[in-house]
Amino acid sequence: MALFPGNLGQTAKAMKVQSALINRGTWKSLLSSVRQLTSSKEVGRKAKVLFLLLIVFLLLINALNVLNSYVGRDFMTAIENRNSFEFLRMALVYLCVFGASTVVSVIHRYAEEYLGLVWRQWASRQCILNYASHRVYYRLKIKGDIANPDQRIADDIRTFSTTTLSFILMSLNGLITVLAFSGVLWSISPQLFVVSVLYAVAGTFFTFLLGRPLVRLNYDQLDKEANFRSSLIYLRGNAESLAVSRREGHLVNLTLENLGKLVANFRRIIKVNRNLNFFTTGYNWLIQIIPALIIAPFFIRGEVQFGVITQSAIAFTHLLGAFSIIVTQFQSISSYTAVLSRVASLMGAGDRETLKALSDKTICIEEDRISYKGVTLHSPRSGIDLIRDLDFDIPHGTYVLVRSGDERTRTAFFYGTAGLWEASEGTICRPSLQRFLFMSELPYLPPGTLRELFLKPWPEGTPDDGTLNELSVSEERILDLLRRLEIESLTARFGGLDTRQHWENSLVLEDQQLLVLARILAAEPRFLMMDKPSTTFGRSRLDRALALLREHSISYVTLEDQAEEVDLENYHLLLELKEGGRWISRRIRDGRAVADVRLVSG
């Protein structure tokens, strides 16, 4: 997410994605989201009930508005006629209508906010699960197509859910208002009704003409705000490294550059808003006088009562408000359009990557072996072959050492086996990722309790918190593994198994990696692939760790540098990855590499 440096600036790919804002697919995504919400088993029924209540409240509000227009007419007529009794009676009715309108409006607003919260929680959960399934988050980061996905999930979905609901209700309210007040205004003056329609059409046209650039500018502003924030987060997250290396100057310059881009884009937004406000402000002021200009002559000629002027103003204002939603809400609509496009692009990218992962033919599942069949891995940048036509078989119970003098080749082998290297050909058959785990060169321990660190990996696919109990490890098993790895003192140092810690700041690197190894042993996979374990383990510690893996019937594949001294007694096979994609595999007997099994010279 936005914590990695790649998000400090936008990539060319991200800019290309931004060029397509709102299209038919975006609206399909919106309709699909609404359908999924209403059909959801978790919140679908609640959402439907709340929405029906909101429609009922809208009908009540508009009925009270129509009633209010007639009460206002009679109230003003009583003043004109100097009728004290009628004046007091209508004043009392006025107060009752105001009271009822207040109660209904407040309950309507509460129901709207509650439904918006329900929608946001559901949509955020769906988006997070989509983002986490099949390691979509990693694929999107590598491609760089989606800028600032964290900001889209945290902020844009909140705006999307609440604003979508607001606009739906606003549109429904406008429709009901048109139906409710068209008859009232037509009965007063057909001429005034026609003027209201023409005035709204003209206002909508000119508002769209003047405010059209806001859609693009608001879209860009969201990303520029996120880039600025992510650079500050990066500064905080890497405070120690920056302080030691004295590289804060470069990052500060980059942060200020992001701030400058943010301010420059916002200046353009302000200028467009200024021009738009000249028109919309005048448009709204003129609404107040148009009914009087048309109805007052009728009153002067004695054809209508004075209260009709008040009623016509109320009806005209409500009706024109319904007709002029685009005029009055254009700035909100332009911001919403940008948010809708960003959410749709994130969900669309997640769906595409999930589909690609499910249809990936380079990975097949075999529970008892790892098999490379004609595997070629290319560099995604240069296109050169890092590994060419690899045919190599690792049955369960076999321990393999993989050596390479080129870090890119070793990385390609590691990530290709995990199914995360897209520039590949051939087929890699391996166990499912619940039965085949990976240990990177540097340990990763998320903040949490010791007990939480020992949770087994999520099932492959979409995470589901309903399986949490199935993933837990017993306390006895945790303590036994800590003891066997000689780090049982951690429970006393950190207050037991249920005290939350930031482990990266609390433990030395070797202890962190030992905790990772303990977690792997608890998960009981069939295979484990380790990237340069000698980086964090001393030789004797590594020998004991490998012995523990063998004791637990976990077949391991260890990746090391060509120059690293390794005890071959711990392995059955040696695979050497050479320059130009060449590779050599050998058997290991009595601690020595012997006859060639296969040599590919390229």
Q: What is the pLDDT of residues 46-80, one digit of tens each?
A: 999 999 999 999 999 988 988 888 888 888 888 87
Are residues 280 and 200 both part of a single domain? yes
- Of 310, 328, 356, the domain-final residue: 356
Same domain, 337 and 392: no
Name the residue range of residue 63's domain: 5-356
CATH number at residue 258: 1.20.1560.10
Token pair 């004695």 is found at 302
Side chain identity at residue 348, one-letter code: G
Is residue 333 domain-shared with residue 370, that is, in the same domain?
Answer: no
Q: Are residues 207 and 242 in the same domain?
A: yes
221, 156 contact by CB (below 8 A):
no
The reply to whether 345 and 368 lie within a common domain is no
Helices (H), ranges, 152-212? 157-188, 190-211
What pLDDT is attached to residue 248? Answer: 76
Same structural domain, 331 and 402:
no
Tell me: do 376 and 276 sit in the same domain: no
Q: How many CB atoms lie within 10 A of CB 45?
A: 12
Judge contact between 26 and 340, C-beta under 8 A: yes
**Is residue 313 domain-shared with residue 434, that is, in the same domain?**
no
Q: Are 61 and 101 in contact (CB under 8 A)?
A: yes
Point out the domain boundary residue: 356, 379, 408. Answer: 356
pLDDT, residue 57, reads: 94
**583 Cβ contact list (under 8 Å, min separation 6):** 387, 388, 390, 392, 575, 576, 577, 598, 599, 600
Q: What percent of the chain has pLDDT over 90?
A: 32
Q: How many domains does the chain have?
A: 2
* Pair (168, 230) in one structural domain: yes
User: Do both 385 and 521 map to the same domain?
Assistant: yes
| Residue 298 and residue 279 share a domain | yes
Q: Which of residues 299, 328, 356 is at a domain's end?
A: 356
Point out the residues of the chain with pLDDT beneath 70: 1-26, 244-246, 328, 460-470, 595-602
The model's pLDDT over 427-462, given as tens digits with 9 standing for 90+, comes to 999 998 889 999 999 898 888 899 988 988 877 665
Q: Which residues contact 248 (CB under 8 A, 6 or more apart)?
A: 235, 242
The pLDDT value given to residue 521: 95
Is 416 found in the same domain as 327?
no
